[in-house]
Chain A
Amino acid sequence: MIITQRVEQNIDIVEISGRLLMVDVEEARNSLKAIIQEGSGTLVLDLSQLSFIDSSGCGVLISALKSIRVREGRIALCALTRNVRALLELTRVIELFSVFASTEVAMAAFSQQPQ
């Protein structure tokens, strides 16, 4: 798993690539928490390069969701691959998030509704 971050139009864009499994949970959770605490309050997760996620990986997304709620921010998931979508649907986690086809679509949606 690799996490990269950039900021565009005051929106934090975080790309999680590779696989998000139990061994990655600690690192991923801490990285996202730090980004959320220090960031703009609007977080777009680009999952286009995330090939697989397991249920502990789902927990990372849920932690991020909880952290962003604490600071009354916004979060979106973008570009889900087939495997990732399957697990998020199986566990119904998908219903907790705004999901977009790409980061561009998510950013356009957030830009139109400033916080």
Chain B
Amino acid sequence: MLADEADIQFHYCRDPTEAIDQANAIAPTVILQDLEMPELDGLTLIKFFRANPSTHEIPVIVLSTKEDATVKAEAFLNGANDYLVKLPDRLEMLARVRYHSKGYIAQLERNEAYRKLAESQRQLAAEVGEAAKYVTSLLPGKLSQGPVRIDWRFLPSTQLGGDSFGYYWLDADHFAIYLLDVSGHGVGSSLMSVSALNVLRSQSLPNTDFRDPGQVLRGLNTAFAEELHDNKYFTIWYGVFRQSTRQLSFSGGGHPPALLFNGAQRQKSALTPLVSTEPMIGIMPDIPFTSQTVELGSAAKLFLYSDGVYEIKLASGEMWQFDEFEEFLCSAPTDAPVMDQLLGHIQELQGSEQLDDDFSMMEIDFLMTLPMNKVIP
């Protein structure tokens, strides 16, 4: 009945005990199986087909003399895909065979496409992972000696984020600190962030005194205004600590305020927010970025961070407020690093460890000591 059809390759197996081996060898796209067989119960054979990895998903059409609802139901329960009562109409059987076969072939093609997609995603993830390692490798080491001590935490939300930061001695007296946050996440934002970071690290802005924060932001804005298209821009806070005068000059472009605690104690009364006076870099050319200067006490502590540390969507759906973030920094106990406490707190607030945005934060202590070890770029 089937052997005459041009589009059907028909194989016949007389011995049910060889059915599995033969199916493994042929790799059919549909199996027609008698329910009544001499040596083996038909239902058991269906179970074998289902348990065998290479025939696990091949459609099985059961042929039986029994027009009995209970038997049919049992066949389907054991893994049959269709049931025909013998002897079936030729046209109907051909239609069913073709229908199940096509469905199975489509499924195989889908599986293959999915496998390829999963493989390319794995490769892509590995490459993104490499890039993320590179970004992290550009971040400076923590400073635990000398007049400026810096500890930091950096957790990109996806593997590649738009945050980066750096610090180094410009000369024997001037120490530069900066943190920038490129809009968005992913490869584009990360490349932009690295590009801006490299400009700062190599001090490669024309006619710019890197000891003057306003000049640096003006230079960056000129350099990036043309380059940043459509929806890309970055916020930055750039500060220069002058050790001989204990002055901190800074300039902010659309960046949340760095929080200065004069006296090094995290008390509300000692808090001065060092706010941005101009908008972000790359939106509009010719913004007259300016520098401001504050005097530091004999000991001073500065927190520099990106918006990801306080723009938190609470588990309730509400948003955490900037004031609450400030309050947290002022009131957190002193027996553990406050950045770790903050991270734990916001993970608790949003009810998940995975953050929606990059978490970048620096804790900087300006001590009243003579310079011992300096980081020269």
Contacts and interface: CB of A to CB of B under 8 A. Distances in A.
A90 to B, nearest CB: 6
Nearest to B308: A55
B231 A63 contact: yes
Interface in A20-60: 21-22, 29, 52, 54-56, 59
Contact of A92 (B230, B231, B276): B276
A111 B294 CA distance: 45
A92 B356 contact: no
Contact of B256 (A52, A56, A62, A90): A90
Given A86-B322, A90-B256, A96-B284, A63 B230 contact: yes
Interface residues of B, number: 27
Interface in A55-85: 55-56, 59, 62-63, 65-66
Contacts of A109: none
A95 B319 contact: no
Contacts of A86: 322
A93 interface: yes
Q: Is the interface of A mostly helix, strand, loop or mixed?
A: helix
B257 interface: yes
Contacts of A62: 231, 233, 280, 283
A16 B52 CA distance: 58
Given A92-B276, A92-B277, A95-B278, A66 B283 contact: yes
B235 A91 contact: yes
Given A22-B356, A86-B322, A59 B276 contact: no
Contacts of A29: 231
Chain A: interface size category? 20 to 34
B364 to A, nearest CB: 21
Contact of A96 (B183, B279, B311): B279
A90 B319 contact: no
A95 B288 CA distance: 12
B322 A90 contact: yes
A83 B231 CA distance: 23
Given A62-B283, A66-B283, A86-B322, A93 B254 contact: yes
A96 B283 contact: yes
B279 A92 contact: yes
A52 B319 contact: yes
B278 A21 contact: no
A66 B12 CA distance: 71
A1 B235 CA distance: 25
Contacts of A93: 254, 279-280
Contacts of B231: 29, 59, 62-63, 66
A96 B254 CA distance: 11
Given A92-B280, A96-B283, 9 more contacts: A21-B313, A29-B231, A66-B231, A91-B235, A91-B254, A91-B256, A91-B276, A92-B253, A93-B254
